[in-house]
Amino acid sequence: MYDDILLIDKPDGMSSFGVVARIRRVLSQEAGRKVKVGHTGTLDPFATGLMILVTGKMCREAGSFSKLDKTYEATIRLGEVSSTGDPEGEITALSSHEPTLEQINDCVKQFIGVIEQRPPMFSAIKIDGKRAYQLARNGEVVEMPLRTVTIDSLEVVAYAYPELRIRTDVSSGTYIRTLAQDIGEALGTGAYCSQLRRTRVGEHTIDAAKTLADFGITS
């Protein structure tokens, strides 16, 4: 456990760095020494699901996990937009138009394959050496560079306006918040990602993950 990978089911409302800090504290107490713990890719605080943590000597292998493809399950709320693309931002009503399921299915097809995305300003991407979210919180308007990503599959799981549930397999670097916003824009309704869960990273799935409670962590 001290030179290994740990599969963790991150709870909502907690930062990825908070998860790392709590696991580090528990492992260090068990080992009687400071155990090095790192992550291989963050999840937004509102998101839940699979995080791969690396410990000890495995920390040097973190990069090999960060580029793996991923699977997400997301709930997209139509008719409203968020300043951050998620429920933590300022929510504004935009449209009362209710697309049909046929329109939804036709819309999502255009996002399957190799596409270009503009990552959200509230992200951990570095711009001139600073995190984009830090610049955004300071009121600075940042032009985020486009990036090429791959959406291998995009399935409508359920739809009952205003909530659209999807499951998608994506390449590393894909922002589901941006995908939700782009779907809303294509539908003409506006949208934001209200719930997000990561269920797979490479060959690792959420079924094999431990919760923080398994480590005796309650908060």
Do the bridges between strand 191-201 and strand 5-10 make them parallel or antiparallel, or are there none, so unpaired? Answer: unpaired
Which of the pair, 211 or 137, is modelled with greater confidence?
211
Instruction: Assign 218 a pLDDT band (cuts: 50, 70, 90).
Output: confident
Tokens describing residue 76: 């997209």
For residues 47 and 82, membership in a common domain is answered with no
For residues 57 and 97, membership in a common domain is answered with no
Q: How many CB atoms lie within 10 A of CB 145?
A: 9
CATH code of 36's domain: 3.30.70
For residues 51 and 155, membership in a common domain is answered with no
Query: Which residue range is the domain that position 193 belongs to?
Result: 70-201
pLDDT at residue 200 above 70? yes
Instruction: Assign 137 a pLDDT band (cuts: 50, 70, 90).
Output: low
Q: Tell me: the pLDDT tens digits for 98-124?
A: 999 999 999 999 999 999 998 876 666
> Which residues are the active-site residues?
44
For residues 45 and 140, membership in a common domain is answered with no
Q: What is the pLDDT of residue 119?
A: 80
Domain count, the chain: 2
For residues 77 and 124, membership in a common domain is answered with yes
Tell me the CA end-to-end span of the chain in Å, nearest whole number. Answer: 22
CATH code of 143's domain: 3.30.2350.10
**How far apart are the C-alpha atoms of 120 and 82, rounded to whole Å?**
11
CB 79 within 8 A of CB 97: yes
For residues 27 and 76, membership in a common domain is answered with no
For residues 92 and 163, membership in a common domain is answered with yes
Integer CA distances (angstroms), 66 to 14, 18, 116, 136, 137, in order:
20, 18, 20, 25, 26
Q: Tell me: the pLDDT tens digits for 63-88?
A: 899 899 999 999 999 999 998 899 99
Grouping H, G, I as helix, E, B as strand and the rest as coil, residue 88 is: coil
For residues 22 and 124, membership in a common domain is answered with no
For residues 209 and 194, membership in a common domain is answered with no
Task: Note if the bond before 120 is cis, omega within 30 degrees.
Answer: no
pLDDT at residue 135 above 80? no
- Tell me what the pLDDT averaged over the chain comes to: 92
For residues 61 and 158, membership in a common domain is answered with no
Q: Tell me: the pLDDT tens digits for 23-50?
A: 999 999 999 999 999 999 889 999 999 9
For residues 148 and 209, membership in a common domain is answered with no
Helices (H), 46-100: 62-66
| DSSP assignments along 147-213, one per residue | EEEEEEEEEEEEEETTEEEEEEEE-TT--HHHHHHHHHHHHTS-EEEEEEEEEEETTEEGGGPBPGG
